[in-house]
Chains A and B, each alone.
Chain A
Amino acid sequence: MTTDTQPEVDREFRVYRIDNGTVIDHIPHWHAYKVLDLLGLRGTDSLVTVGFGLRSKQLGRKDLLKIENRELTTDEMNRIALVAPNATINLVRDGRRVDKFKVLLPDTFQGLARCSNHGCITRHEPMTPCFKTLDRHPVRLQCHYCTQISEGSDIQLL
């Protein structure tokens, strides 16, 4: 796996290679912590390498995460798409990248986030929020129930 601007040798010293697991690339700068949190990786025994502020043609600066011995579920990738809509997922097995794809928030989805409208029924009933994706870059969501639109810092992850 190479980042888009740094030569292989330089990269090796900055972010260690993994034999098995997942590399999440193209995370917006300073958003790696959010991704760590939404994957529940802080305070666990998981072996995680974090790169902050790596140079990127696409993003200027970006963050990167390498998680050893863990492959992500679709639900986890959808959660990542909420905070890092340009993120790329690289699946590594036996030291080789076997798959690479971009995260993509579904057109509609359940759970993952909370409606930003405090008066919304989803905030007051034991139920799963449900959203329509209006835009992916940047993310704009519409609550299926109250139709409130959430974007930017309004989007609260569950």
Chain B
Amino acid sequence: MATATRAASLVSIRDLSRAEMERVLEVAAEMGHARSDELHGKQVALLFYEPSTRTRNSFLTAVHQMGGTVCGFDNTEGTSVQKGETLHDTIKMFEAYSDAIVLRHPRDGAARWAADLSGVPLINAGDGKNQHPTQTLLDLFSMRATQGRLDNLHVALTGDLKYGRTVHSLADALAEFRGNVLHLVAPPTLEFPAQHAAELRARGMEIHQHRRLEDIAREVDVLYVTRIQRERLPDETEYEKVRGSYRLTAATLEGAKDNMRVLHPLPRVDEIAADVDATKHAYYFEQARNGIPVRKALLRLLMLTDELAGEK
């Protein structure tokens, strides 16, 4: 539970109101990739208990572009964690060394626990299969950059909709805006959880289910593709079948709207064919690049202002 000294933190996308999300995106657009010294004399602890390429390096780049320094670790090898140190003790130690903590941890709920303990702002960079709010914010930033708005969009989510934390958080965030229509495209074994879909409908969101990408590719403004992990499917035959049917190619995109953009949280394996990269619809590499201004905005808002109150 909350302690008296707890700082404003970002643990879940549900912690942010629509106005707060828009404020993050507005500051991110204003900051862009420009350098500053606003974090001069300040240190950010990057505590990554699990491997990460984009998230860790975009935070690292963000801190450097703002003139700050970093400490921490990018895997637990050689750290006290390997000797059995608890997350509690690691957080208490790093709050003394730093002005903010960025945490990625394999256990669900680790970020909430750490935020409850920390006297400095804590940003969740992914906790188990639970939440990854900074990814959601950069997804929203990318949608606004390509569509000019976050209301009245037709967004298709495809791939692993059952276990994928990015699609769950993104759906929650889109429900905060008006008139968005969600198209869910997944095999029966990896369908979006029914209870979650019911919650979104209760919040006024229109949701449609589809089995084939071809059925929807020409109607949507955003096609958000995620990776299907082999271990999520019952056997190799099922995996091969599903993998083939949910693979996006340039041919699938023929006749798509001009403004339609393909997003992917990356890494991709083969769910987006290389021939899509050359189409005007491919946006996933720019999307990854958008991680830097969005994370800079969060560092500024959480470390230097009190604009993000934390939990709603």
Contacts and interface: CB of A to CB of B under 8 A. Distances in A.
A90 B127 CA distance: 45
B1 interface: yes
B232 interface: no
Contacts of A121: 87, 105, 107-110, 112-113, 127
Q: Which has the most chain B C-beta neighbours within 10 Å: A122, A143, A146, A148? A: A146
* Contact residues on B (Cβ < 8 Å of other chain), bracket: 10 to 19
B68 interface: no
A102 B187 CA distance: 48
Interface string A123-142: 11111001000000000000
B88 A130 contact: no
Contact of B107 (A120, A126, A147): A120
Interface in A74-126: 108, 110, 115, 117, 119-126
15 contacts: A108-B1, A110-B1, A117-B108, A120-B107, A121-B112, A121-B127, A125-B86, A125-B87, A125-B107, A126-B86, A143-B109, A145-B108, A146-B112, A146-B127, A148-B108
B56 to A, nearest CB: 20
From DSSP, what is the main secondary structure of chain A's interface residues?
loop
B86 A145 contact: no
B212 interface: no
Nearest to B114: A121
A24 B30 CA distance: 64
Contact of A125 (B1, B12, B106, B113): B113
Q: Which of B88, B108, B129 has the most CB of A within 10 A?
A: B108
Contact of A119 (B12, B88, B128): B128
A121 B48 CA distance: 15
A144 interface: yes
Interface string B1-26: 10000000000100000000000000
